[in-house]
Structure 1
Amino acid sequence: MGSPISRRRRAIVGVAATAGLLSVGGLAGSGLVRSPSQAAADTRPPPPSVITAPVVRQVLRSTVVLRGTFANGRTVSAQPTSVAETEAPSRPAQLVVTGVFTRVGDQVRAATALAAYSGRPVFALPGAVPAYRDLVYGEQGGDVRQLQHALASLGYGAGADTEGVFGTGTEQAVRALYRHLGYPVPVTHDAETTGTAATTGTGTGTGTDASPSPADTHTDTGTGATTVDGGTSSVAHAMVPASEVVFVPSLPARVVSVPVHVGDPVKGPLLTLARGGLTLTGQLDPAQAGLVTPGMKVSVLSEATGTRARGTVESVGVLVTPGDGKDGTEAADSAGTAGGGAYRPLTVKPDKTWSTALGGQDVRITVTAAATAKAVLAVPEAAVTAGADTHTSITVVGAAGTRHTVRVTAGVSADGMVQVTPVGARLAAGERVVVGK
């Protein structure tokens, strides 16, 4: 049970410990109690301050960014439909590709065999009128004149022939052309014949049922006359078959498609040539159309290849809405709407000829709408204010926090920055200006 002295000692220690705990709890509780005035002081907003930004010196460029696509422009295809008769008779069973001498991206020049079908060449000549008929002896017209000019550009003159008339001089020039190409000369025959066993071959290589066999005929390569036992046929005149020539407005042209291989039957174009260089057309947001005018500088970037190029805005077209039939697309639904929003077509003229590597690519077009010639002082647009006197100014903050107003003239603005020129005061890069509070 212990002595009375021990019991009293333990009681005193317990009382002291309890008093200590109560004291600590009281102190902790007092920290949680706040008077109404203290609560108001704690929730009061901080003293007002200002937001500043530095004055910078840089070149300002206002740009408009859009997407664009390179196209091959106007194209012309070579699609043979028949095989011409020649002075060395041949009867092909079908139209089949017998040679491919070019590939995509190649530059095409005049009077060079690009492909061959059933032993006959396909070549290009300069001219704006497409080959819509066989050009034969005695024909007249603008396409004959075009042929004569093309032959003359190669050094094969038409002699005394009247311009636009396929006569003896033009015929001799055609013969010289095919000797240059290395192929037999295609021929056609006069309609008039002598004798009862004359041949009546056509430009397509087919004759009448009365045509004599090769054993009964003899062709004089000097005159082109075909002699048959019992009489003399008409003279065979040189011609230019529509299936063999492709007229292109300007040469050299560019090969954009060669979809065939040797041995393939001819069922479509053997090749396609671009009649001009690449064209670049962008889709400009109508809301930004007012910022872009012809003559503005343009930079082009192909993200796929890393190719860069430069040019200028050539034109900005009228508003196009996909699905309205004006952009060559069909409506996606009965309401006549299609994917994509309205745009203004923007064409770009290159500083140098577009690289053929850009053909068919979707690229980024950046138009420089405005720019400073050199680095200028600039501040955020929010730093410039206009007073009742219509003068613009900025507020400069000193090292000690002092503020003073500097009158400025605003210039080019770009990407949230504006060019400023101080009036009657000094302003240096690195100083800070008020942009908000």
Structure 2
Amino acid sequence: METTATETGAARTGGWGRVFRGNRGLWITAAVAVVALAGGLVLGRFVISPIDAAAGAGAPDPGLVTVPVEFGELSNDVTLRGDVGYTDAVELKIDTSTFTGPAVVTGQVPETGAELDRLSVALEVAGRPVIVLPGALPAYRTLRIGVSGPDVLQLKETLAAAGIGVGDAASDVFDEATALAVGELYNQVGYPAPDAEEGVAETVIAAEDSVRMAEQSLADARAALAVAGQGPSAIEVREADNQIASLDRQVAAADAAGEDSSDLRDQLALAQLQRQALDAPRDTSAEQAAVDGAIAGVETANASLAEARQAALPYLPASEVLYLEDLPRRVDAVDVERGTALEGAAMTVSGAAVELTGTAAAADVELLEVGAEASFELPDGAAHRAVIVAIEPAEDGGRTVISFEPDPLSPEQMEQVLGTNVRIEVPVGATDGEVLSVPYAALTAGPGGESRLEIVTGDPRDGESAETRMVTVETGLAAGGYVEVTATEGDLAEGDLVVVGS
């Protein structure tokens, strides 16, 4: 039995040896892990982390919170956001009521960025121009001979300002001089004046014929009156005298021959009466009445001709004029193109001047005024000057609209900032040069209500036992949490440490 036990133990020992030799790497790893765990437990009893050390330590001794006195310029600014754009943008709609067919755009389509000024052609519709003129009253009717009103007065003032003669510019009547001025307007923009309405030309021709006929009738009547007023001709008088002399001889011859001369005597008496009638004044009332009627006929014909000719004079259709205020205007967007029918707005225009517009709260508005200078940042980081030109409170009590006029911008700068939202700084107060300043929190009130500063002359870390001194000051401009201070009692200099807390 003993031999068997020994053999069994040897067999077990050999089995464990085989297991160890077959898994040597695993056993080594396990051994390293055990050693590391034991080492960590030992070191953990002696090593303490900074956080644990701080947690176990007591609170540090309280010190004084200080800031240095600063020296430099101090300014108070109002900051707001604003949009850069052109002034007074409006949509333009062209009156197409006078067109008998489709209002097709045929030319003169402006490009974005183009300027519209006095006598510019904004658009060409159905071969006709839309002429830009300065004015506040829109075109709402065709202006022609005989009409009157404020729109006529606006047209005449506009044409006169453009150097086109209109006769009496103070009159609100569209007369012949105004019509001729409209013709010159079309001549200057390079288009013919509108054609006369259908039938007007034929009416003028007929009126001219009527005048010629009336003038001929007058000439004939005057000739007849002249003939009637001249009396008998020399031939008529001579013939009458000869007839009397002949009859007188015949009567004498008959009496000498003892013949009956009574019949001859009757003929002689009649001839003598006719001769007397030749010397009597003639009645020309009929001829004069004919002349008077012919004169009236000529006057009527001439009046009809003048009326017909006036109807043929140049006129201004409402569809061919566009009144705009504050010229020149810049084209911001074009909504039509050549060959398309005109419907709705043709384009959007704005003032040529650049405007910067922002809004401000009531508290900031109180610090702003028209004429105040401001600045905004360009894309390259440079500050660009602007001036407040208008402050318009909101009717609903909301934020107030502030309008700025920037200094001139180059085309490149305008292209970069147009339509962008920028930050605007408006200085509303500034010191006259460099001054000493401290935070508001550094000021304390003395027994007499004076402002004081506590200056640390020792080590602030000493807390309440630190050495300090009091300086009485006079305050000035406050801005950005700092206030201007001037020492009235005691010394104060840049870099002095002032107490703001403990």
TM-score of the alignment, normalized to the shorter chain, above 0.5: yes
Instruction: Tell me which residue corresponds to 2:4.
Output: none
Q: How much is the aligned-residue C-alpha RMSD, in angstroms?
A: 3.8
Instruction: Tell me which residue corresponds to 1:172.
Output: 180
Instruction: Tell me which residue corresponds to 1:317.
Output: 393
Instruction: Tell me which residue corresponds to 2:439.
Output: 380
The one of 308, 311, 321 aligned to 1:234: 308
SS class of match (2:159): helix
CA distance in 1, matches of 2:88, 2:327: 15
Task: Tell me by how many angstroms 1:372 deviates.
Answer: 1.8
Instruction: Tell me which residue corresponds to 1:267.
Output: 343
My pick for the range that moved more, 178-187 or 161-170, is 161-170
CA distance in 2, matches of 1:391, 1:414: 20
Task: Tell me by how many angstroms 1:345 deviates.
Answer: 1.9
Instruction: Tell me which residue corresponds to 2:153.
Output: 145
CA distance in 1, matches of 2:120, 2:371: 39
The answer to whether the 8 A contact 1:411-1:418 is kept is: yes
Aligned pairs for 1:24-43 within 5 A: none
Q: Indicate yes or no: 2:65 matched with 1:47.
A: no
Instruction: Tell me which residue corresponds to 1:331.
Output: none
Task: Tell me by how many angstroms 1:141 deviates.
Answer: 1.1
CA distance in 1, matches of 2:335, 2:487: 66
Identify if the C-alpha distance between structure 1 residues 396 and 307 changes in structure 2 by more than 3 Å, giving closer, same or farther: closer
Aligned pairs for 1:112-131 within 5 A: 112-131=120-139
CA distance in 1, matches of 2:343, 2:45: 98
CA distance in 1, matches of 2:81, 2:476: 29
Q: Which has the larger Rg? A: 2
Q: Structure 2: state its 5+ residue gaps.
A: 1-43, 49-55, 211-304, 461-466
CA distance in 1, matches of 2:383, 2:318: 39
Which structure is higher in strand share? 1
Instruction: Tell me which residue corresponds to 1:186.
Output: 194
My pick for the range that moved more, 251-260 or 409-418, is 251-260
CA distance in 2, matches of 1:30, 1:412: 59
Question: Percent of aligned pairs with the same residue?
Answer: 32
CA distance in 1, matches of 2:113, 2:474: 53
Aligned pairs for 1:318-333 within 5 A: 318=394, 320=396
Aligned pairs for 1:4-403 within 5 A: 44-70=58-84, 72-73=87-88, 75=90, 77-82=92-97, 93-160=101-168, 163-189=171-197, 199=199, 225=204, 234-235=308-309, 236-274=312-350, 277-286=353-362, 288-301=364-377, 308-312=384-388, 314-315=390-391, 317-318=393-394, 320=396, 343-350=398-405, 352=407, 357=415, 359-398=418-457, 402-403=467-468
SS class of match (1:426): coil
Task: Tell me by how many angstroms 1:280 deviates.
Answer: 4.0
The answer to whether the 8 A contact 1:300-1:364 is kept is: yes
Identify if the C-alpha distance between structure 1 residues 282 and 46 changes in structure 2 by more than 3 Å, giving closer, same or farther: same
Code of the residue aligned with 1:142 in structure 2: it is P
Task: Tell me by how many angstroms 1:421 deviates.
Answer: 0.9
Instruction: Tell me which residue corresponds to 2:477.
Output: 412
Code of the residue aligned with 1:144 in structure 2: it is V
Instruction: Tell me which residue corresponds to 2:218.
Output: none
My pick for the range that moved more, 242-251 or 116-125, is 242-251
CA distance in 2, matches of 1:44, 1:151: 93
Code of the residue aligned with 1:249 in structure 2: it is E
The answer to whether the 8 A contact 1:281-1:347 is kept is: yes
Code of the residue aligned with 2:81 in structure 1: it is R
Task: Tell me by how many angstroms 1:318 deviates.
Answer: 4.1
Q: Structure 1: state its 5+ residue gaps.
A: 1-27, 33-41, 85-91, 190-197, 201-216, 220-224, 322-342
Code of the residue aligned with 2:468 in structure 1: it is R
Q: Name the structure, 1 or 2, with higher relative contact order (CA <8 Å, separation 6+).
A: 2
SS class of match (2:167): coil
CA deviation string 1:308-329 (max 9, x = no partner):
44122632514747xxxxxxxx
Task: Tell me by how many angstroms 1:47 deviates.
Answer: 2.5
CA distance in 1, matches of 2:45, 2:120: 103
Identify if the C-alpha distance between structure 1 residues 160 and 293 changes in structure 2 by more than 3 Å, giving closer, same or farther: closer
Task: Tell me by how many angstroms 1:270 deviates.
Answer: 2.5
CA distance in 2, matches of 1:227, 1:138: 22
My pick for the range that moved more, 113-122 or 296-305, is 296-305
Between the two proteins, the alignment pairs up a number of residues equal to: 347
TM-score (norm 2): 0.60
The answer to whether the 8 A contact 2:103-2:125 is kept is: yes
The one of 419, 422, 432 aligned to 2:487: 422
Task: Tell me by how many angstroms 1:299 deviates.
Answer: 2.3
CA deviation string 1:253-275 (max 9, x = no partner):
22233211111111123333336
SS class of match (2:319): coil
